[in-house]
Chain A
Amino acid sequence: MKKGKFLIGLTLLTALTAGCSTVSKTEPAAPAAGSDSASAAPAQKLDITIGRAFDVNGLDPGFLTENAQVVDNIFDTLVKRDENEQLVPGLATDWKQIDDNTWEFKLREGVKFTNGEPFNAEAVKYSLDRVLDPANNAPTASYVSTIKEVQAVDDYTVHVVTKNPDPLIPTRFNRYPTEIVPPKYTEEAGQEKFAQEPIGTGPYKFVSWDKGSSVVLEANPDYWGEQPAVEKVTFRSIPEASTRVSALLNGEVDIVTAVSPEDRSKIESSSTAKLSAVERAGNTVYVGFKTDVKPFDDPKVRQALNYAIDVKSIVDKVLQGSAVQTNSLIGPKDFGYAGEPDGYDYDPEKAKRLLAEAGYPDGFSATLDTVSWYIKNTDVAQVIAEQLKAVGVTIKVNNVESSVYRTLVPAGKQSDLYVLGWSSTNTLDADAAIYAILRSGESYSTYSNPDVDAKLDEARSTTDEERRKQLYQEIQGEVIQDAPRIFLYQENQYYGVSDRLNWEGRIDGSIPVSTITAGAADGK
């Protein structure tokens, strides 16, 4: 009688094993990532895995719709940034401004792409031209839209001619989309193939891309610079933040990006990995006002709301130190940063007084839009609502889905109060940090101040560094006084790094694999 029962079990078991075999057939035979960590001696070349929140969409630096964390290892830019974010020579050995609208770059000689094509001025011109060509609709063309033309003067000299004086040209040649691609191969391959099988001059060569899962690179033996310690690197996509950290703790990956602040303690208490905190590498988050809408057209109201918020308690209690309170518009590593300015202390009484002066002794009500892609933003918005209630302002918190928010705000369709975060990682310059959110007429700006506008415009078109610094300081003073936003904080970013490696997260968010070296725990 038992036979019957067993029979069912047996059938299912066979089916199960049959399932197994079909599955295993589709598996790549690659060994598990990080499995060699135990046996690797310190002198040996490293094979590492980096867990990121998403897979790449394509590997063509000229047409990225995301950051350049992966492609920056395959390609080189003319200018690079060292560990201190200082501009240093890359494919260009030297650069200088030769007149108002022209910059001259001297190129490194003897560099070859990994397919043997020579790197020269033609390659630079080609790389920029294809991004600048309006017909190609390059997503990040706006990053180089100040450039009128690139001229190949001789094999190793390039002139970059701008439409107006642009102080940021060297910086622009450090970030995508200005990576240099091989003209012949790029032309032959076409856009679709190039994005899948890229060829560059960088420290790493492309090996494979398993869509939705991982990208594998290996060291370029003919690299013009120093040979890196990491021989092979796999970028794995692990979208769920807690899984990413678990994969690090389980030894499957060696570095994880975008560690959620809640998971910090898991890494800190681990015996196999360490937390790399990059203070103020994230967005500067604020509550924007629509300054042309009542009652927010009155600076007194805007100042009052600033006095009503206890930012320190939000940073300490809600964010648990995963951000830094700041009144500065500009991040500490950005050009134009001038220390931490004074702003608004927490003073609810003063807030009430200002509201009364502005004609709102009994407060008012408003809606605050928030979106969940900033750290704990819904919680932060709730606390802001409670603190404003204490001064008589009733706030309704409206949580908006992130892709909707990204189209709502530039269209000006958000509520009169809205949370926004902005970062300057593209250029590490004050211009990137504030122009788009303060200049009247810009899609993300809900502020209009002719004096600030004039200063913003001048600062982006003069190459006199001292003058620029001065302008940004004046803008900052004026904006703090005028309060087109509630000043909040700048987010930190966290990485988890296995003890077998030595690496610290960077403020520009890049992961130059060639800077990763073996850590103390390797070879244990």
Chain B
Amino acid sequence: MKRYLLKRLGQALLAVLGAATIVFFIIRLSGDPARLMLPPEASEEQVSALRESLGFNQPLWMQYLDYLRNLLTGDLGHSLYYKESALKLVLERMPATIDLAVFAILIAVTFGLLAGILSAYKKNSWIDYIVNAWIFLTQSLPVFWIGIVLIMVFAVRLHLLPTSGNRGLESIVLPAVTLAAYPIAPIARTMRASLLEVMDKGYMVTSRAQGFSKRRRVFKRGLKNAFLPVITVISLEFGVMIAGAVVTETIFSWPGVGQLIIQGVGNRDFPLVQASILVVSTIYIAITLITDLIYHRLDPRIKLQ
């Protein structure tokens, strides 16, 4: 176990470093931010003076080495636009993103599991078909569209909920529902497929022969065994949400990491984007690691090596 953890931590470090490196080079492909930081009237001399003071005139490999050196000391640099610690900016926005992700994943899990279990339980019935059609629909509608329609109906027409912002509990409802719409589908589908598969397993057949009712078989034995793959799906979807729901956060002006990243990319605020990705990928990798540990806990047959 200990060895496993150490090994996984090592892998995680490599993965985070890899992500940081890829981001470092990719955002630099489209040029540096000096031009964007100055008004259009600024002269070439001003642009190059700024470029020099920001260090973007250095060769790329030197900038990269500097970046790594600072990274080792925990210094993720200062945001070019906000002029303050990039890490601090990201961490300030993290709670809003986590709030939204937790809410959304709870909604998605509730409805996804219900739908999946129901459709497996009543396989090939009209309930199964309706659930499937519904899942198909939520997965194919663009997030953007869902968000705007929800705003039109629940805020502008019915005046029940606020359109946007992070002010009070009621303001989280619409963005969370919007964000939850998509992951309901994979959760429900995996739940359904996994439950159906388990139902055909030998021990389930035995329990049927023992005379247990269908309900008892499904809920007492089946579900427990069918949950494993669903947990993977849920944790991956949750990881994606934590990485910042760019579209949802923008529509609902939710002040999370997603908006920060999008703004950082638009401004070519390199330190800010790099810090965001670093934090987000660390969290993502941590989530997958925790999932593996839960896996092991739920099914000791799975070896951690």
Q: Is the CB of B53 within 8 A of A137?
A: yes
Q: Which of A19, A239, A250, A432 contacts B253 (CB 8 A)?
A: A239
Query: Closest residue to A237 on the B side, CB-wise?
Result: B253
Q: How far is the CA of A58 from the CA of B267 in the complex (A)?
A: 14
Query: Closest residue to A191 on the B side, CB-wise?
Result: B83
At the interface, yes or no: A227 with Cβ under 8 Å from chain B?
Answer: no
Given A211-B89, A443-B44: A26 in contact with B83 (beta carbons within 8 A): no
> Which residues on the A side are within 8 Å of B102 (C-beta)?
19, 22-23
* A223-262 interface with B by 8 A CB criterion: 236-240, 242-243, 246-247, 249-252
> Which residues on the B side are within 8 Å of A250 (C-beta)?
155-156, 159, 162-163
Chain A 21-33, CB-CB to B under 8 Å as 1, else 0, gives 0111011101011
Q: Which of B31, B35, B169 contacts A20 (CB 8 A)?
A: B169
- What's the tally of chain A residues with a CB closer than 8 Å to chain B? 67
* B2-51 interface with A by 8 A CB criterion: 30-31, 35-44, 46-47, 49-50
Q: How far is the CA of A26 from the CA of B36 in the complex (A)?
A: 34
Q: Is the CB of B81 within 8 A of A65?
A: yes
Q: Is the CB of B215 within 8 A of A1?
A: yes
Chain B 263-302, CB-CB to A under 8 Å as 1, else 0, gives 1011110000000000000000000000000000000000
Q: Which of B50, B93, B110, B252 contacts A211 (CB 8 A)?
A: B93
Q: Is the CB of A134 within 8 A of B49?
A: yes
> Which residues on the B side are within 8 Å of A293 (C-beta)?
none
In the A-B complex, list the 3 residue pairs whose CB atoms are closest, starting with the nearest.
A212-B255, A4-B219, A238-B253
> Which residues on the B side are within 8 Å of A406 (C-beta)?
35-36, 40
Given A243-B253, A407-B35, A407-B36: A252 in contact with B219 (beta carbons within 8 A): no
> Which residues on the B side are within 8 Å of A246 (C-beta)?
151-152, 155-156, 163-164
> Which residues on the A side are within 8 Å of B162 (C-beta)?
32, 247, 250, 252
At the interface, yes or no: A404 with Cβ under 8 Å from chain B?
Answer: yes
CB distance from A97 to the nearest CB of B (A): 23
Can you show 5 pairs from A to B with CB atoms below 8 A apart? A4-B219, A16-B106, A23-B172, A213-B255, A240-B252
Q: Is the CB of A139 within 8 A of B163?
A: no
Query: Closest residue to B111 on the A side, CB-wise?
Result: A12
At the interface, yes or no: A141 with Cβ under 8 Å from chain B?
Answer: yes
Q: How far is the CA of A32 from the CA of B164 in the complex (A)?
A: 11
Q: How far is the CA of A32 from the CA of B287 in the complex (A)?
A: 35
A-B pair count, CB < 8 Å, reads 179
Q: How far is the CA of A238 from the CA of B216 in the complex (A)?
A: 51
CB distance from B199 to the nearest CB of A (A): 15
Given A26-B99, A239-B259: A213 in contact with B155 (beta carbons within 8 A): no
Q: How far is the CA of A436 from the CA of B46 in the complex (A)?
A: 15
Q: How far is the CA of A252 from the CA of B253 in the complex (A)?
A: 13
Q: Which of B81, B89, B113, B148 contacts A8 (CB 8 A)?
A: B113
Q: How far is the CA of A287 from the CA of B206 in the complex (A)?
A: 77
Q: How far is the CA of A240 from the CA of B259 in the complex (A)?
A: 11
> Which residues on the A side are within 8 Å of B59 (C-beta)?
none
CB distance from B43 to the nearest CB of A (A): 7
At the interface, yes or no: B92 with Cβ under 8 Å from chain A?
Answer: yes
> Which residues on the A side are within 8 Å of B266 (C-beta)?
402-403
Q: Is the CB of A143 within 8 A of B40?
A: no
Q: Is the CB of B81 within 8 A of A57?
A: yes
Q: Is the CB of A23 within 8 A of B250?
A: no
> Which residues on the A side are within 8 Å of B167 (C-beta)?
27-28, 30, 32-33
Q: How far is the CA of A58 from the CA of B42 in the complex (A)?
A: 20
Q: Is the CB of B110 within 8 A of A140?
A: no
Contacts beyond the supplied A27-B169, A237-B253: 16 A-B pairs with Cβ under 8 Å: A1-B213, A12-B110, A30-B167, A63-B83, A65-B267, A143-B41, A192-B83, A212-B255, A214-B165, A238-B253, A243-B163, A247-B155, A250-B155, A250-B162, A250-B163, A444-B40
